[in-house]
Structure 1
Amino acid sequence: MNTLAFTLGEHISWLALKISTYPNGNLAIKIYESDCDSLTFWESLTVNLNGIRPDHCAFINSKAAEGQLPAWLLEKQLAEPTGQIYEADGICYPEFLFQTRRLCALDPDGHTLYTRCQKGELGRQFERLYIALRRLSREINGFTYTDYSGWRCMEGSSATLPLWIEASDPAHGRQFIFTLKGPALQTTIRCADGTEKRYTYRRKEDIASDLISLFQKELRVYPPWSEERRKQHET
């Protein structure tokens, strides 16, 4: 059984993660305390808020463990913040993107069931846009986004657009809205001076690449992978 140490005050607990899905398919993770090979439910690591989350993303339970769970995830290199925060009843819940390999190592069976649930979902076609948004939230000061997409709802069961993401870029006084209407993807940019621009795309790749191009001069430049690192990644 794979466990992780968690320190609260002077007490050290050895915790195991169990992975499943919420009824709408979102990632659900519960924490159990291990004691002599027996598991006792300890706390819910994730909370199911604000619609459908991207693959391996979840809002973290900020009320549990005296609010230390987000810092614990970073310390154990289990997940990293996406930059999106949801506020409910005066409490802020940060969204984290979990490391696939770490989850698989901690709970292989649960992670396998979760990934099988994700396969075939229409939301995967927007993955490049989600990757771009997560990168901007990490590297651009103040950039955040909120996902209202209804792409995982069955046809006719929701009035929400299949893709509907709103992003805020306070450093440049801009707001973005990404939507899918019929066959066309659309980006709407609202500037602080009241002007508004709209761009329509036929290819999914273009909406992500155009978004990144707006911040190109401010993004980090990563050196190309060495041949050795590439081989390690592929194995």
Structure 2
Amino acid sequence: MQPIPFKMKGTDYAITIKVATYSEGNLAIKLYQENFGQLIFWDTLTTNLGGLRPKDCGFVNTKTTGKRFYAWIKRNGLGEPTGQIRSENGVDNVEYLFNSKKLKKLDPDGYTYYSRRLKGELGRQYERLYLALRRLANHVPHFHYTDYSGWRKLQGSDDTLPLWIEAEDPAHCLRYIFEQRGIMLRTTIINCEAQTVQHYIHRRKEDMATNLLSFYQGELPVYPPWSEDRRRQSDTRHENPLIQTFKETAEIRQQAGKKKKSQKRRT
């Protein structure tokens, strides 16, 4: 991919984009210049302000270039602002949703690693909770949820939470809030009809999903276990290949044993 031109203070730069990740899995875009056939680090397009960001989102770094990056991003179709602004040390940082197709084309290896890493941080970290929420959304009428993890700011603060999901169950007049604050995992259940609030503190992330599903045991479909006939059919599918494998292994061992004996006799 050809470098992207960037002009600052009368100097033209040929910028090569590389996609990387920050420690939390957030998107990091690094800019390089080519010098005698080698890429030399020039600057970072993004800055990491803490908290997990949504996929392909990142705050633009303006410490070195000021607001020049905004026009450069727009001119080259690299992304567009999400509308979120965070102040850090008196500097307003604008969040951008970057063009995933463009990034993948500019640095396919780097973007592939970033997307896999982000999926691990955002998805697998609370995988059972997300699976439970999707299951309820599929089987409980009008059940829905909104994920604010990593991007919605707390009231009166610029901080975000690594886990912040709000779910609603209109059929039962229930509202759920799933949060992680520091090391504390908490589920808040609000009963809109009875005007009550309950808090559950969990030791493990998996317990949040288990606790949620326990309220809907009678409403979720239950799949019957396999019958004996089906188990036998499944076993017979693998029976012949396994027997063949054992036979081949035994033959290989016998041949190896014969070779060792013949070598000993020669010596």
TM (norm. structure 1) is 0.55
Q: Which runs of 5+ in 2 are unaligned?
A: 134-144, 152-157, 167-175, 180-186, 192-211, 213-267
2:83 equivalent in structure 1 = 83
Superposed, which structure 2 residues align to 1:1-235 within 5 Å? Answer: 1-120=1-120, 121-122=122-123, 129=146, 148-151=160-163, 162-163=164-165, 179-180=177-178, 182=187
Q: Which runs of 5+ in 1 are unaligned?
A: 135-145, 152-161, 165-177, 187-201, 203-235
Q: How big is each residue's C-alpha offset from its partner over 1:162-198, in whole Å with a ceiling of 9 and x where there is no partner?
A: 338xxxxxxxxxxxxx943638699xxxxxxxxxxxx
* Secondary structure of 2:93 counterpart: strand
Identity of matched residues, %: 34
Change (3 A) 1:86 1:7: same
* Structure with greater proportional helix content: 2
How many residues are treated as equivalent by the alignment? 152
Kindly provide the amino acid, as one letter, of the partner of residue 95 in structure 1.
Answer: E
RMSD of Structure 2 on Structure 1 (CA): 3.4
Conservation of the 8 A alpha-carbon contact between 2:85 and 2:94 = yes
Conservation of the 8 A alpha-carbon contact between 2:58 and 2:96 = yes
Conservation of the 8 A alpha-carbon contact between 1:46 and 1:60 = yes
Bigger CA drift: 87-96 or 63-72?
63-72
Q: How big is each residue's C-alpha offset from its partner over 1:23-78, in whole Å with a ceiling of 9 and x where there is no partner?
A: 11111111111245321111111111041111110011011223311221111110
Q: Which has the larger radius of gyration?
A: 2
Conservation of the 8 A alpha-carbon contact between 2:33 and 2:41 = yes
* Secondary structure of 1:117 counterpart: helix
Conservation of the 8 A alpha-carbon contact between 2:21 and 2:114 = yes
Structure 2: distance between partners of 1:106 and 1:185:
47
